[in-house]
């Protein structure tokens, strides 16, 4: 007696086509993402495939079409809730176009150039159709190698000067300006900033906008520390900021929400200070936890939906064109989400 698994594995497209009385090409299109097949024919073919136990072979389809329908997504870490949110949205949007996501988590502590080359070889070994890079430290190096190998690539939540490579990022500079204005309008006198990864374009642009926003009001930064976009390092940065400075800040802009949660925990639980009455706090991202009652964090919201749609649109344009698509640099606006970690404005009409 033949086992069910053995019988199912032997079922071919020809068997399904014979069962429904249709051509092999019609049956094949049914199992090809993006191909056009009439709804009635599709329903009949899928019912026959289930009955026969037919399973399409994605690897064989890749060999015949030269397309894997796979997009690689490279991120640095997943503990910041912004990235799981982004991954979910990218996956859902790509599935609409018949693509699947292959996730690579690249540790930021590994910065050697040889690692970049090894990672690229590993990614390309899966015959991916395109790559979305959201890893802050190696993105530029990896993007250049992808571009040189004619692999469609988009840098996500990053800005870069790599020639020919598209980027999609929030307006981090404008966010920094808005953070400065928000704190000054709410009466902040001594202001601190806790940076993310020093080399990351996101942190650099947020700080540059913040400093310029203070300068526009003839103010300067009173305290600065670095938290490397890490919760525990941000806690250490907060301890240094509030213990080592001659005059502790009464307001702090933190380069992302993930770090801001740790900073708030230190301010409240270790220093016994009130947020916002003793110290006002602003974050960046508007991750889901920032709305939780325990934090109710005022933050700059990144428009994740618009960013994901822009990144996918540009990537698919590059994948489908026979020649490389013209690089685009897309900047998505941010907006302030005011919650309970900042006071009411004292000077709402100020510039």
Mean pLDDT of 319-333: 83
Average pLDDT, the chain: 85
Place of tokens 């801001």: 260
> Which of the four pLDDT bands, split at 50, 70 and 90, describes residue 113?
very low
pLDDT of residue 205: 96
Buried b (16+ CB within 10 A) or exposed e, 278-314: ebbbbbbbbbeebeeeebebbbbbbbbeebbbbbbeb
Q: How far is CA 31 from CA 67, 80, 95, 226, 249, in A?
A: 14, 37, 14, 51, 61
Take residue 100 and report the two structure tokens written for it.
Answer: 């699947």
- Predicted confidence (pLDDT) per residue in 122-159, tens digit: 787 778 888 998 866 666 667 777 777 778 889 898 87
Mean pLDDT along residues 237-243: 94
Residue 38 above 70 pLDDT? yes
- Interatomic CA distance for residues 59 and 349, integer angstroms: 62
Residue that has been written with the tokens 């929030």 in this structure:
170
Contacts of 34 (CB under 8 A, 6+ apart): 97, 98
For residues 237 and 194, is the Cβ–Cβ distance under 8 A?
yes
User: Out of 38-42, 205-209, 335-339, which region has the weakest mean confidence (pLDDT)?
Assistant: 38-42
Residue 2's pLDDT band, with cuts at 50, 70 and 90, is: very low
Closest CA to 177 of 215, 218, 128, 212: 212
């Amino acid at each position: 007696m033949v086992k069910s698994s053995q019988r199912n594995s032997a079922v071919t497209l020809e068997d399904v086509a014979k069962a429904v009385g249709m051509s092999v090409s019609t049956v094949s299109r049914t199992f090809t993402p993006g191909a056009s097949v009439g709804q009635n024919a599709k329903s009949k073919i899928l019912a026959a495939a289930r009955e026969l136990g037919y399973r399409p072979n994605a690897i064989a389809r890749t060999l015949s079409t030269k397309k894997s329908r796979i997009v690689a997504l490279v991120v640095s870490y997943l503990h910041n809730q912004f990235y799981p949110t982004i991954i979910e949205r990218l996956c859902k949007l790509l599935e609409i176009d018949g693509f699947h996501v292959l996730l690579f988590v690249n540790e930021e502590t590994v910065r050697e150039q040889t690692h970049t080359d090894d990672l690229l070889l590993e990614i390309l070994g899966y015959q991916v159709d395109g790559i979305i890079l959201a890893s802050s430290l190696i993105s530029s190096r990896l993007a250049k190698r992808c571009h040189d190998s004619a692999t469609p690539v988009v840098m996500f939540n990053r800005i870069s000067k790599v020639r020919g490579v598209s980027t999609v990022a929030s307006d981090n500079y404008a966010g920094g300006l808005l953070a400065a204005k928000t704190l000054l309008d709410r009466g902040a006198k001594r202001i601190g900033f806790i940076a993310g990864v020093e080399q990351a374009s996101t942190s650099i642009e947020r700080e540059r906008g913040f400093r310029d926003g203070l300068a526009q009001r003839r103010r300067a930064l009173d305290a600065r520390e670095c938290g490397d976009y890490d919760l525990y390092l941000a806690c250490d940065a907060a301890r240094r900021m509030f213990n080592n400075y001659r005059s502790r800040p009464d307001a702090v802009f933190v380069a992302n929400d993930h770090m801001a949660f740790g900073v708030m925990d230190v301010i409240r639980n270790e220093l016994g200070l009130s947020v916002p009455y003793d110290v006002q706090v602003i974050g960046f991202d508007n991750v889901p936890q920032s709305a939780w009652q325990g934090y109710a964090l005022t933050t700059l919201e990144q428009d994740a939906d618009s960013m994901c749609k822009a990144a996918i649109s540009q990537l698919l344009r590059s994948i489908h064109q026979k020649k490389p698509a013209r690089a685009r640099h897309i900047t998505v606006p941010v907006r302030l989400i005011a919650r309970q970690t900042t006071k009411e404005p004292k000077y709402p009409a100020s510039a």
